[in-house]
Every structure is written in C-alpha cells, then in structure tokens.
Structure 1
Amino acid sequence: MLIFSCANEWHVGDKNPPAGYFNDTFLKAAYVLGFLKLVDTNPPVPPELQEYKAIEYKNIDGKSLKLDLYYKKQITGKAPLLIFIHGGGWRKGKREDYLKYLLDFAGRGYVTATISYRLLPQSTFPDAVEDVICAVRWLRKNADSYHIDPDKIAVIGGSAGGYLASMIGYAADVPQFNIGCETGKTSGRVQAVINLYGPTNLTTEYARTHTSTNNFLGMKYADNPALFATASPLSYISADDPPTLIFHGTLDDLVPVSQSDSLHSKLNSFGITSEYHRLEGWPHTMDLAEPINEYCQFTMTQFLEKYIPLNK
C-alpha cells in the first residue's frame, strides 16, 4: 500500500514536493482506495471575508462579463490583487472553480478576484484574451473602491486559464488585444504571472493538431499558420516581462509538460525570473489533490511575497 499512499501528505518544511505516481493507473487507484484526498472545491465563505459577487466589468454585444472579489472585512489600506482565471479548454468553466484559492489567499491579506470571459463556441480567439486584459484594466481603474494596490497585481490560471494569464503577462500592451475596454488609458500590465499547466506555444505539432486549439482559433493550422503564432504567449516574451511561476506535472496528457519546459527556457533566455516546478508523477489539474494544492499555495505565497509583497 505504500506505493499508493506515498503522496498522501505534504507539510510545510518538507524539502521536496509531494511524491507523485508511476503512471495514471497508480494515481487513479490511490484516489479510488482513498489514499489521495481531493480539496473541497466549494468551501463556505468565512465570516471575516467581504464577498462581492457578479460585478460587471465589461459588456460586449449584449453579453455581460462579471467578476467576483474577496478581501478581509478588517482590511486597512491597500493590498496586492490576485486575479484567478479558470480553465476549461476555452469552452467551459466558471468563476467559482478557484474558490478555495480565492478564500485562502484573501484570508492571508490579499485582495482576490475571479473573472468570466467569452467561451466557445460563441467566441473564438482573440475574444477571451481581450476580455481578461479588460478585467485587469477595470480592476486597476477601480482599485480605490476595493482596497487594491494598483502597482501590485498578479494573474493566476490553470490550463486555458494559465494560457490567458500568460497572454496578459506578455502581451497586455498589444493594441489588437485592447479592444472593447471602457477604461481609458489604464494599463493592463501585471507584476507577476503564475501559470499552472497552461499551453504557451500553439505552433507545436501536438498543439496545432489538437481539437481544442483548432476550435479556439476557429480554423486548422494549414488555413493560417501565422495565426497560431499570434495566439501563442511565447511569441510576445520580451526582457521587461514580469516574473513568472510555473507548475506542471509530467503525467499531464492534455497539455504536455514540454510546453512549460519551453516557456521556462524562453523566459530564462530573456533574463526574466522564472521559477519552474516540474512535478514528477502528477497529471493535469493536479492541484485538485490536497498535497499538491498545499504545495502550490505555499510556493505561490513565497513567490508573491518576493515580487508583490503585502503592504506592512
């Protein structure tokens, strides 16, 4: 039974990340047998937190795009803002998907937000990219209303949300992605990026032939190869981009770990801070597992304290 229980726990102070599994079969067996616990994805909102639900940040073609926001009721002054972007293959997902992260980090003193964006099949690239950049700009413009420090904003996402977080981090100033934002000249730039197993190069053989990518771009690679590069975060990396934290599991069969290998390498080539946690024996959406979620939250907190620290 040790082979199933090896990743059951992780504690702050442990030198290594949670031990993973030999393959998906062992991983699934550990879950079925009760050795691998999953996080509560719908925890109650603690009474000490202020919650704002369904705030409209953008209305386009009659569609209202909303965000939720959390912070301590006893907050004084301004705090860094963490914007969480849900995944779902650009087709599904909801703001509440990251509720555990939202509440945990708000409880530590951050302002946290989660945003909706346009999805398939009604919308294709670059609609979602435009939306998430507009959300950053809206939150920065309205910073004073929600105790936000406008100079300390991080974007965090998993899978498709990690892709969008990376697009914000490296392409927020690209004119074609700043459309439909009623925020004047407010900047969409952020000070930190956290990408959990998100794709960043849509031109690879695997990515460009994947159904989700073709649907997101509204065409196949042969129809317009240049568009696949235009839609790739790697295409926009430059020397002034923000520090980036990356998590990716080697058992990921949806977004290959090679995507994050390439991201880390390119960031390093431009001299950009990149902290990469390549986790052996873990799959896509690995942070649903308690030990990985605890490890990610601890690592994220350390990273954020270095680059957008809480105001004392």
Structure 2
Amino acid sequence: MKENSKITEDDVKEKIRKKNMIGDYLTYPVMAINFLKSDKKIKPLYYKYNNNKAQYILYFAPQIKENESAKKQVIIYIYGGGWREGNANLYKFVGRRFAKEKYHTILLGYRLTPKYKYPCQIEDIFEGLSKALEVLKEKNIDYSNIVVIGSSAGAHLGALLVYNKELQKNYNIDNNIFKGYISLGGPTDLNVCTNEVISAMINQLFEEGYDRKLGNPYNYIDGSEKTRVLCIHSRLDPICDVQNSINFSNKVNSFNDSLADCIIFENKKIYHNNLVNGIFFKDMDNEHILDKVFNWIDSL
C-alpha cells in the first residue's frame, strides 16, 4: 500500500471478511468427521427425471413407528456448492435428518456450472420437482404443504422455484403448494453479492451477456405470494453477505407484513459452512439452529 493511500471502510470490511474466510475453512475438518461418522441406515429411493447423471431425485420416507403419523409438511431440499460442486447423494445426511423428524423429504439433483450455464440449473429444479410430485402422487402422499429449503446456492435456486411464476406456469406447478421457503445463508439478492469469492461463482454461473436480473430471486417478489419465509444468516458470513437475507425478507414484508422472518446470528464461531451444512450435525449446531427450523416448519 502506498504511504499516502487512504484506508477506506470497504478496505476494513474486506480485511474482516478474509479473516472470517479462515474461520470458515477451519469448520471443514469437523464437518468431514461428522459426515464420515453419520448414521447411514436410512436408505432413500432414487428416481431419474432426465438422462444426465445429475438429473435425479432422492426420496426419504419419514421414520415413524406403527402408531405414529408423518408430519404434514413435505420437505424439498436443494443443496449448495456455488452451483459448481456437489450432488444430491453427498447430502443424504440432510434427507436422513429430516426423515428422522417424520417428514417426507426429497432432495433435488441438478446440473452444475461451468459446463452447464444458467438457466440449466433452475430448469432442472423445476423438472426435479415435477418428478417429485409424480412420485408423491403415486405414493398417495399429500403434497399441498411443501416447504422448500435451500443451503447457500441451493437457497438461490429454491427462491426461484417458489417465486418465478412464469416458470411455474410453464411446468404446471401450482404456487399454492409452497407453504414455506427457508434460506440457509443463501444469495437471494444478487445485487449485494459483490465480494471476490461469490462474484467468481456468479460469473461462472452465467454466460457472458446473459441478463442476470432474470436469475435474481429478489426481482420476482411482487406481493402476490402467500408463502411464509424464513431467512437464516450469519453476520460473519464471508461468502454470501448477510444483506442478502435482510433485503429479501424486507422486500417480502414490504408487501405482506410479517410474512417473512429473518434470523441473524452474531456468534463469532458461525460463518458459512457450519451454518448452511453444519447445522444438520448435532456436534456442530451449538446454537440449536436446526431446532428453530423444525419449530418454524411445524408452525405452518
């Protein structure tokens, strides 16, 4: 830095963000250990919805005893990974966790960037949901109470699933089935996704020249929605800025007051990975965030 250069507020924020990135990286070893030792007894059913290896869904039956009933909410979960990493199989631990809480749960797989550019991802999500509804219908499962949950990039796709009415019409999806939407550290307003980490991901997601407004969930909120919203974020998230959740929930509430809830954690040990993924392991959920998620879902 030059001797006479002035340190700006943005410089300070970026320095803090990079420090928080180190904290985020340090959560990965614990995550890996929990992943390896997690219970794998619950086996999902696998269904293809197209020919690509990523185009499939996983159905987890609720774990109920003979005298018990499944919960009425059906969970549709979309995993994250910057739109470029992962697959639904890697996130079976999420499906198992919801199944143990007696929810019918479906994980949606989708094609990844950079090979497949947007809108391939959201097209897959809609096709995956269509297949999911077909499977639920075959099993005589009521799907009029769907809760869409997404982690990180999955929350971005989940918001588009719930809020893009044009695509819902194209895929013959009734918006009224979406009773709840939950974003776990998601980029729900691309306008504030400006740091170097998430900017690189977004640049890889969209083809050069593509109108990114079409891929921004924030732009699809118009006040006609009745879906309850829960945005959960960490103030220290070094990848996806907390302002995403603030902006998204505020816009929802600007049309329908109290329709959206926004929970922001100030804990110095909660970053990105241990919020969007780690909460599904009890050893990593010291703030009992997942219990808050379950309670919120059950209130719908």
TM-score bracket for this pair, using the shorter chain length = 0.7 to 0.9
CA distance in 2, matches of 1:125, 1:285: 23
Structure 2, gaps ≥5 residues long: 1-18
SS, match of residue 276 in structure 1: strand
1:103 aligns with 2:93: no
The 3 A distance-change label for structure 1 pair 228 and 295 is: same
> Which residue is 1:305 aligned to?
298
**1:96: how far off?**
3.3
> Which residue is 1:267 aligned to?
252
SS, match of residue 143 in structure 2: strand
> Which residue is 1:236 aligned to?
220
CA distance in 1, matches of 2:81, 2:21: 23
CA distance in 1, matches of 2:90, 2:287: 17
**1:44: how far off?**
2.4
1:206 aligns with 2:202: no
The 3 A distance-change label for structure 1 pair 52 and 217 is: same
SS, match of residue 55 in structure 1: strand
Indicate the larger mover: 143-152 or 123-132: 143-152
Q: Structure 1 vs Structure 2: percent identity of aligned residues?
A: 22
For the 8 Å contact 2:180–2:229, the answer to whether it is kept is yes
CA distance in 2, matches of 1:97, 1:205: 26
1:94-149: per-residue Cα shift (whole Å, max 9, x none)? Answer: 21343333212211210111121011122111111111122222222332334532
1:94 aligns with 2:87: yes
Q: Which amino acid aligns with 2:187?
A: P
> Which residue is 1:248 aligned to?
233
> Which residue is 1:59 aligned to?
50
Counterpart selection for 1:132 from 125, 135, 139: 125
1:42-66: per-residue Cα shift (whole Å, max 9, x none)? Answer: 52234xx5x334311x215x55611
CA distance in 2, matches of 1:296, 1:302: 10
SS, match of residue 34 in structure 2: coil
CA distance in 1, matches of 2:150, 2:21: 27
Count, aligned residues: 267
Indicate the larger mover: 117-126 or 65-74: 65-74
1:199-246: per-residue Cα shift (whole Å, max 9, x none)? Answer: 122234717981211111112xxx45xx12111000111323211111
The 3 A distance-change label for structure 1 pair 29 and 63 is: closer
For the 8 Å contact 1:137–1:187, the answer to whether it is kept is no
Counterpart selection for 2:174 from 183, 187, 203: 187
Q: Which amino acid aligns with 2:297?
A: L
More helix, by proportion: 2
The 3 A distance-change label for structure 1 pair 37 and 116 is: closer
CA distance in 2, matches of 1:205, 1:195: 15
1:70-107: per-residue Cα shift (whole Å, max 9, x none)? Answer: 11265757742111111111111121343333212211
CA distance in 2, matches of 1:205, 1:109: 36
For the 8 Å contact 2:184–2:232, the answer to whether it is kept is yes
1:24 aligns with 2:14: no
For the 8 Å contact 1:111–1:147, the answer to whether it is kept is no
CA distance in 2, matches of 1:168, 1:29: 30
For the 8 Å contact 1:84–1:98, the answer to whether it is kept is no
CA distance in 2, matches of 1:186, 1:262: 26
CA distance in 1, matches of 2:182, 2:286: 14
SS, match of residue 101 in structure 1: helix
1:253-303: per-residue Cα shift (whole Å, max 9, x none)? Answer: 111111111112111111161111111132112232635376221011111
SS, match of residue 150 in structure 1: coil
Q: CA RMSD in A?
A: 3.1
**1:31: how far off?**
6.3
Q: TM-score, normalised by structure 2?
A: 0.77
CA distance in 2, matches of 1:112, 1:298: 17
CA distance in 2, matches of 1:87, 1:101: 12
Q: Which amino acid aligns with 1:278?
A: I
Q: TM-score, normalised by structure 1?
A: 0.74
Counterpart selection for 1:141 from 115, 134, 150: 134
CA distance in 2, matches of 1:107, 1:45: 12
The 3 A distance-change label for structure 1 pair 29 and 97 is: closer
> Which residue is 1:163 aligned to?
156
SS, match of residue 50 in structure 2: strand
